[in-house]
Amino acid sequence: MSVIDAMRAALAVLEPGAVEIIDDSAKHAGHAGAKSGGGHYRLSIVSPRFAGCRTMERHRLVYHALGPLMKREIHALSITAKSPDEP
């Protein structure tokens, strides 16, 4: 299973209506974090679980869902998290 597939599977607990994951690891080749094998990713996710949550709360939900992946497979993660009623 690829890291992106593993991320999608882990994020399923947030019942997302939309998930887009972009692997930016190639842009960071030679970076100290890249040496450990962890990748750089951009995540855009829409979930009803984010309704009424502030940005930091949304990010915590994402980090909690990704759990163990954040320790090795993911070195850096840029998150855009919205509820379905947000543009």
Q: Is 17 left (phi over 0), alpha (psi -120 to 50) or beta?
A: alpha
Please calculate the CA angle 69-71-73 and round it to the nearest 5 degrees: 50
In a domain, 87, yes or no: no
In a domain, 49, yes or no: yes
Question: pTM for this structure?
Answer: 0.89
30: CATH? 3.30.300.90
In a domain, 37, yes or no: yes
In a domain, 72, yes or no: yes
Q: Kindly state the tokens that stand for 26.
A: 């190639």
Number of domains, the chain: 1
In a domain, 62, yes or no: yes
Strand partners, 80: 44
In a domain, 9, yes or no: yes
Q: Percentage of the chain with pLDDT > 90?
A: 76
Q: Return the pLDDT at 28.
A: 61
Confidence of residue 71 (pLDDT cuts 50, 70, 90): confident
Structural domain of 8: 3-82
